[in-house]
Structure 1
Amino acid sequence: MEGKEEDVKLGANKFSERQPIGTSAQTQDEGKDYKEPPPAPLFEPGELTSWSFYRAGIAEFIATFLFLYITILTVMGVVKSPSKCSTVGIQGIAWAFGGTIFALVYRTAGISGGHINPAVTFGLFLARKLSLTRAVFYIVMQTLGAIAGAAVVKGFEKSRNFELLGGGANSVAHGYTKGSGLGAEIVGTLVLVYTVFSATDAKRSARDSHVPILAPLPIGFAVFLVHLATIPITGTGINPARSLGAAIIYNKKHAWDDHWIFWVGPFIGAALAALYHVVVIRAIPFKSKS
């Protein structure tokens, strides 16, 4: 274990040249020209002996746990009411998801980067913003946190009520095809991960330093807007851990019938966002050749 606490500005990363995801990613010395940070190594064995690595994983677990706890309870509260007029409705559900992400990313940005979503982690890994070691660890902890969060909700609601109210599980709504559901998940995750890249781009911060930006805010709004658009189609996944946690605890056949959509769609959307950011927006492959 390391003998001293790492600088919190470095967040999940021990090395200063790599930017964490969150408000600390905006920290730049405005008097210096921006330099492209080197890609994160594919494997970084040294992380396994660092407390900051495990602290970051715990932060992802707790954040995803709280995310599922708040959002599934909100969803089930809307489903439970006989009159949608007496509940927060779809708009309230969207606000619950977006607002919770805003709060949790703000809290965990300097510790783990505030991913709280395997699709975000996957997109950042493809862009070489973090190592494979860290990416796998984050996804495992996010998934476990989601399962724990859904399990606590089931404990509060009691098993019978939890099942009658659908457990917050995602599925393609009646009247929509599996292709429509997959497309909604791809585009929705593309919007989210593209926003993550844009909101945390250190070069943009250095160039537009006169325009302050709080990264969790646009990320939370992206989640809110995507939920408004796609709740009627898939219930909005765009987060494989959220979908898996609810499905495991609910554990009914129809929750598993379309479950693959809530992994394949978000991962494709995240890959497209990473490709667009790295190749088109930042043109990094072309810079390396010049």
Structure 2
Amino acid sequence: METTETRSVVSEFLGTLLLVFFAVGSAVLAGEYIGTFGIALTFGFTMLALAYALGPVSGSHINPAVTLGMLLAHRITVRTAVEYWIAQMLGGVIGAALLFLLAKQVPGLKTSEAFGTNGWGDRSAVHINLGGAFLAEVVLTFLLVFVVLAVTHKVAVIGFDGLPIGLALATVHLIGIPLTGTSVNPARSFGPALFAGGAALTQLWLFLLAPLIGGALAAVVHQLTHPPQEPKVVADERAAEPSPGAAGREGPASGEGHAIP
């Protein structure tokens, strides 16, 4: 891979690792102290910080569902998407491994079949059934990915783009934690489930599939609600074509011109 591609892939790996370690860690290590609201804010704040730190490098997807949305919106290539997916899943596993190592240093802390994982039935705070869990994950992921597509410029997160993304992630967790524990991110679910085992693994398929469906739907709807983004390029071609009555005049200096609206 080229240097730029390497940096992007490493950023996706690191971002997912940090999201799992800190945000999922807030549920595993501090959930009884900070509650649902605190966990939701931790996810939102962590995403906000990573958006500013890694957004200019990779777009700070750190979520396979977001990457799928970007792919379907024709903002990234298939090769980039595959590289991001691999980096995100590996990042989720390593982040969960570090969190598991830390959790084992806390006497009496239960990790088996828990460990910040997602679930339905008796693994849901409100005992939501399978169909309800699937619908919740699709709709919650739809909101997150739709916001990401709507506020980002092409792939990069610039300016204040990170703020609505962080707020959206916090919002879906406020709603989703009592329902399924909130996945909306296959990489976030995959790593912790590997270490929790048991029902966390047998129910994992839903939290891999439903977020991807939600991300794909968000890309389709975004194309209906927002005009396609055209690349902002210097109007060299326009400058090269003499306008009527422009004979004998100098064209604009190199690099001047207006962006195509």
Which residue is equivalent to 1:166? 114
- Report Cα offsets for 1:94-149 as digits up to 9, x if no partner: 00001100100110011111101000000100111000001000011011111111
Of stretches 170-179 and 274-283 in structure 1, the one that deviates more from structure 2 is 274-283
Which of the residues 141, 144, 153 maps onto 2:90? Answer: 144
Alpha-carbon distance between aligned partners in 2 of 1:263 and 1:121, rounded to the nearest angstrom = 14
SS in 2 for 1:168: coil
SS in 1 for 2:56: coil
Task: Please state how far the C-alpha of 1:263 moved relative to its aligned partner.
Answer: 1.5
Task: Please state how far the C-alpha of 1:197 moved relative to its aligned partner.
Answer: 1.1
Alpha-carbon distance between aligned partners in 2 of 1:140 and 1:162, rounded to the nearest angstrom = 29
Alpha-carbon distance between aligned partners in 2 of 1:162 and 1:111, rounded to the nearest angstrom = 37
Alpha-carbon distance between aligned partners in 2 of 1:105 and 1:148, rounded to the nearest angstrom = 20
Task: Please state how far the C-alpha of 1:201 moved relative to its aligned partner.
Answer: 4.5
- Are 1:125 and 2:81 an aligned pair? no
SS in 2 for 1:237: coil
Alpha-carbon distance between aligned partners in 2 of 1:139 and 1:74, rounded to the nearest angstrom = 24
- Are 1:241 and 2:187 an aligned pair? yes
Indicate the structure (1 or 2) with the bigger Cα radius of gyration. Answer: 2
CA RMSD of aligned residues (A): 1.9
Task: Please state how far the C-alpha of 1:256 moved relative to its aligned partner.
Answer: 1.8
Q: What is the one-letter code of the residue matched to 2:28? A: M
Distance 1:53 1:162, change over 3 A: farther
Structure 1 unaligned segments of length 5 or more: list them.
1-47, 82-86, 203-211, 285-290
Alpha-carbon distance between aligned partners in 1 of 2:110 and 2:70, rounded to the nearest angstrom = 35
Q: What is the one-letter code of the residue matched to 1:244? A: F
Alpha-carbon distance between aligned partners in 2 of 1:281 and 1:260, rounded to the nearest angstrom = 32
Q: What is the one-letter code of the residue matched to 2:210? A: G
- Report Cα offsets for 1:196-253 as digits up to 9, x if no partner: 0111147xxxxxxxxx9600000000000000011001000000000001111222x2
Between the aligned residues of both structures, percent identity stands at 36
Alpha-carbon distance between aligned partners in 1 of 2:191 and 2:50, rounded to the nearest angstrom = 18
Aligned counterparts, 1:259-270, within 5 A: 259-270=204-215
Alpha-carbon distance between aligned partners in 2 of 1:165 and 1:275, rounded to the nearest angstrom = 35
Q: What is the one-letter code of the residue matched to 1:157? A: A
Which of the residues 70, 80, 94 maps onto 2:22? Answer: 70
Alpha-carbon distance between aligned partners in 1 of 2:226 and 2:3, rounded to the nearest angstrom = 35
Distance 1:221 1:64, change over 3 A: same
Aligned counterparts, 1:1-290, within 5 A: 48=1, 50-79=2-31, 81=32, 87-158=33-104, 161-163=109-111, 166-172=114-120, 173=124, 175-201=127-153, 214-251=160-197, 253-282=198-227
Alpha-carbon distance between aligned partners in 2 of 1:163 and 1:93, rounded to the nearest angstrom = 17
Structure 2 unaligned segments of length 5 or more: list them.
230-261
Distance 1:88 1:224, change over 3 A: same
SS in 2 for 1:88: helix
Q: What is the one-letter code of the residue matched to 2:58? A: S
| 8 A Cα contact 1:76 1:165, kept in partner | no
| 8 A Cα contact 1:199 1:213, kept in partner | no
Distance 1:68 1:221, change over 3 A: same
Which residue is equivalent to 1:14? none
Alpha-carbon distance between aligned partners in 2 of 1:234 and 1:98, rounded to the nearest angstrom = 17
TM-score, normalization: structure 1? 0.72
Task: Please state how far the C-alpha of 1:279 moved relative to its aligned partner.
Answer: 3.1
Alpha-carbon distance between aligned partners in 2 of 1:282 and 1:268, rounded to the nearest angstrom = 22
Which residue is equivalent to 1:206? none
| 8 A Cα contact 1:192 1:222, kept in partner | yes
- Report Cα offsets for 1:258-290 as digits up to 9, x if no partner: 211112111111111100111342278xxxxxx
| 8 A Cα contact 2:113 2:200, kept in partner | no
